[in-house]
Amino acid sequence: MDPETPETPRTGRPLDRDSGKTLRAPHILAALMATYGGGHIELDHSSPFELLIATVLSAQSTDKKINEITATLFVKYPTPEAYLAVDEEELQDDIRASGFFRQKAKSIRGICQALIEDFDGEVPLSMAELVTLPGVARKTANVVLAGSAPEALLEDPDAGIAVDTHVTRLAKRFGFTRHDDPVKIERDLMRLFDKADYGPASLVIILHGRRVCDALRPRCGACIVEPLCPSSLIAGRRDKARQAKALGAID
């Protein structure tokens, strides 16, 4: 945590894990931002299109595996047209290692078709347009905006916070939400953070979930925000993400 213990504004009492979430949230975010350098997307990409494809591929896989796949995939398929110029079976073979390759190949080709027909082959950088792409929901759209167009995210009234399995788990452990529905979790988080922090908040929470706050074995003793976490196991607290086992540990 910060060298100086944060205080409750009105009473001057030190903030702790039992303080209100609106008081704890900015300090937890600041500590995570300092720890993870503001956050970054671990999916390799050089354009919004590549990030969109990588994000679709990353479902039920790891970023490391997806980066291995996309190192050659993005060379072979530089445009939406390229994904439609081969048989679907060939694309399936090229992404087989990502898992669920038949479904993902179909999704990617559907997205590419829509990009060509509706957006001149370019990825639109607004939430309202991104979610018109087949199979693209708010999580993927928020990832693309946070990773490729942070300025557009700031001005987009519909943009929010990408809620994946890590954000879901940590939002519960921090006591920021009681919901299971990603849209409701996102809404709860959006109330706690400034819009300028929507993109970074998701990125640093994901990194903390991967590196410290594991689904099954959170390393509370090594956790920078332990003093403000109401789920700290070393403080003898109950894990507020009781469904963590069901959520699993993959992306």
Burial (CB count <10 Å: 0-12, 13-18, 19+), residue 206: buried
Give yes or no for residue 227 binding ligand SF4 (CB under 6 A). Answer: no
Residue choice 91, 146, 185, 212 for contact with ligand SF4 (CB under 6 A)? 212
* In the complex, minimum distance from the CB of residue 219 to ligand SF4, in angstroms, rounded to a whole number: 6
Catalytic residues: 139, 164
Which residue in 27, 11, 34 sits closest to 193, CA to CA? 27
Encode burial over 113-143: b for 16+ CB neighbours within 10 A, e otherwise: bbbbeeeeeebbbbbebbeebebbebbbbbb
Which among 45-53, 58-66, 88-96, 219-227 is the span making contact with ligand SF4, rule CB under 6 A?
A: 219-227
Distance CA 12, CA 4 (A): 13
Give yes or no for residue 218 binding ligand SF4 (CB under 6 A). Answer: yes
Residue choice 83, 229, 244, 251 for contact with ligand SF4 (CB under 6 A)? 229
Q: Please identify, using beta-carbon distances, which residue of 131 and 224 lies nearer to ligand SF4.
A: 224
| CB within 8 Å of 16: residues ≥ 6 apart | 227, 228
Give yes or no for residue 105 binding ligand SF4 (CB under 6 A). Answer: no
Q: Which of residues 173-202 bind ligand SF4 (CB under 6 A)?
A: 173
Which among 8-16, 36-44, 158-166, 226-234 is the span making contact with ligand SF4, rule CB under 6 A?
A: 226-234
Distance CA 150, CA 144 (A): 9
Q: Which of residues 122-181 bind ligand SF4 (CB under 6 A)?
A: 173
Site of interaction with ligand SF4 (CB under 6 A): 173, 212-213, 218-220, 223, 225-226, 229, 231-233
